[in-house]
Amino acid sequence: MLLLGLTGSIATGKSTVSALLSKLPYSLPIIDADLIARQVVEPGTAGYNAIVKYFLPSTPDLLLDTPTPTPKGRPLNRPALGRRVFGAGEERERDRKVLNGIVHPAVRRAMYKQMVWAYLRGSWAVVLDVPLLFESGWERYCGTIIVVGVSDPAIQIQRLVARNPELSEEDARNRVSSQGSIREKAERALRRGKGAGVVVWNDKGKEELKREVRRVIEEVRKGSPRWWSVLLWVCPPLAAGVAVVSWWRMRRVQLRWEEEKRRERAKL
C-alpha cells in the first residue's frame, strides 16, 4: 500500500484536493491529521486536559462560554489558543512547541490505527493529509508526497480571511508565516525524485485544480500499478520489506535536505 502524503500550507487548497481524492474516480481513504487533531483535544480527552492545565492560567479566554456546557468541560476557544501560539517571538515559539508536544503524539497513534485498517481493506494507497508533514517527520514514511501550493503568499492571506472572517489580516499573516514557505516545501518534495514528489499549484480555479490532480494521480499510478498493489497486499512480508527500503531511501533524502539547510544557515 502506498502512503501518499498530502501537504501544503494554510489556505492553499489542500483540503479541496483531499476532498477530490476521496471521491470518484479515485475513492482513496483519507487520514486527515487536522480532523484527528480536533478529535484528540475534545473535552474529556487527555489532550484537552493537558492543554487546559498549561494554557488556562495565562489565557483567561481559553475556554468558550456555552449555554449548555458538557460535563466533560467547555470547548476550547481555538482563535484564542491560536493567538497564543502563532506568530514570531520566543514565548510563542515555546508555547507552540508545548502544544505540538501534547497534540502530535495522540494524532500519530490515531493515524497508525487508520493506516492499518486501510491496508487490511486492500486499498492501493492511503492519503495522509498532514499540513506540517515535513516539519512533523512524516516525510520519511511516505512513498510519494503531493504539495499543494500557491505562487504568492498574498493569495493565502486573502483566502484565509475570506474563510475565517473572525481573523484579522495580521492574524492571517501570522498563521501563514508560522507554517513556513510553501515554495520551500514544493522544492523539498521535488528533490525526492520523479514520482516520489509532485506539486499541484492552485493559483487558478477549481476546474484547473481538478485537471492538475488528475495529472498527478496518473503520474503516481505509473509508479504503483494495480498488480503491484495486489502483490503487496497478498504478501505482507514483501510489503514490510518494501516499506523498510522506502523508509530508508526517503530518510536519506530528508537528511541530505536538512544538512544543506544547516550549511546555508551557517553561512549567514
pLDDT attached to residue 178: 74
Count of the separate structural domains present in the chain? 2
Q: What confidence tens digit (pLDDT) does each residue in 200-227 have?
A: 989 888 899 999 999 999 988 888 888 8
Regarding whether 154 and 237 lie in a shared domain, the answer is: yes
What is the predicted pLDDT for the residue at 219?
Answer: 87
Give the domain extent around 211.
Answer: 1-29+125-268
Q: What is the pLDDT of residue 168?
A: 84
> Does the pLDDT at position 68 exceed 80?
no
- Residues 254-264 have pLDDT tens digits of 999 889 988 88
Residues 199 and 93 in one domain: no
Among 85, 120, 155, where does a domain finish?
Answer: 120
Same domain, yes or no: 130 and 25: yes
Averaged pLDDT score across all residues of the chain: 88
- Give the CATH number, domain containing residue 98: 3.40.50.300
pLDDT, greater one: 266 or 69 = 266
Q: Are residues 191 and 257 in the same domain?
A: yes
Distance in angstroms (rounded) separating the CA atoms of residues 208 and 188: 24
pLDDT at 267 > cutoff 80? no
The set of residues, in sequence order, having a beta carbon less than 8 Å from that of 12 and lying 6+ positions away, is 148, 149, 150, 156, 182, 202
- Phi then psi dihedrals of residue 152, to 5 deg: -130, 125
The pLDDT score that the predictor gives to residue 11 is 87
Over residues 184-200, the pLDDT tens digits come to 899 999 989 888 999 99
In this prediction, residue 87 carries a pLDDT of 77
Q: Report angle CA 265, 137, 27 to the nearest 5 degrees.
A: 130
Q: Is the pLDDT of residue 180 over 90?
A: no
- φ and ψ at residue 108, rounded to 5 degrees: -60, -45
Tens digit of each residue's pLDDT (9 = 90 or more) over 72-124: 888 888 888 888 888 778 888 888 999 989 988 888 888 999 999 998 888 89
- Indicate whether 131 and 236 sit together in one domain: yes
Is residue 63 domain-shared with residue 171, that is, in the same domain? no
Q: Say whether both 42 and 140 belong to one domain.
A: no
The answer to whether residue 70 scores a pLDDT higher than 80 is no
32-36 contact pairs (CB < 8 A, 24+): 32/129, 33/107, 33/111, 33/128, 33/129, 33/130, 33/131, 34/129, 34/131, 36/107, 36/110, 36/111
Please report which confidence band the pLDDT of residue 128 belongs to, taking 50, 70 and 90 as the band edges: very high
pLDDT in tens, 25-58: 999 999 998 899 889 999 989 999 999 999 988 8
Residues 137 and 57 in one domain: no
Q: In this prediction, what percent of the chain has a pLDDT beyond 70?
A: 99
Q: Tell me which of 64, 87, 120 is where a domain ends.
A: 120
Residue 173 has pLDDT above 80, yes or no: yes
The pLDDT-based confidence of 265 (bands split at 50, 70, 90) is confident
Q: Examine the pLDDT at 172 and tell me if it is beyond 70.
A: yes
**Among 11-20, 136-145, 169-178, 238-247, which stretch is predicted with the lowest mean pLDDT?**
169-178
Q: Do 67 and 144 reside in the same domain of the chain? A: no
User: Same structural domain for residues 48 and 171?
Assistant: no
- Nearest CA to 148 out of 7, 4, 34 is that of 7
Q: Give the sign of the dihedral formed by CA 104, CA 107, CA 113, CA 114.
A: negative
Select from 120, 139, 167 the last residue of a domain: 120
What type of residue sits at position 30? I
| pLDDT score, position 69 | 66
Residues 108 and 157 in one domain: no
Half-sphere exposure of 3 (CA within 13 A, CB side): 26
Q: What predicted TM-score, i.e. pTM, was given to this entire model?
A: 0.79
- Are 54 and 173 found together in one domain? no
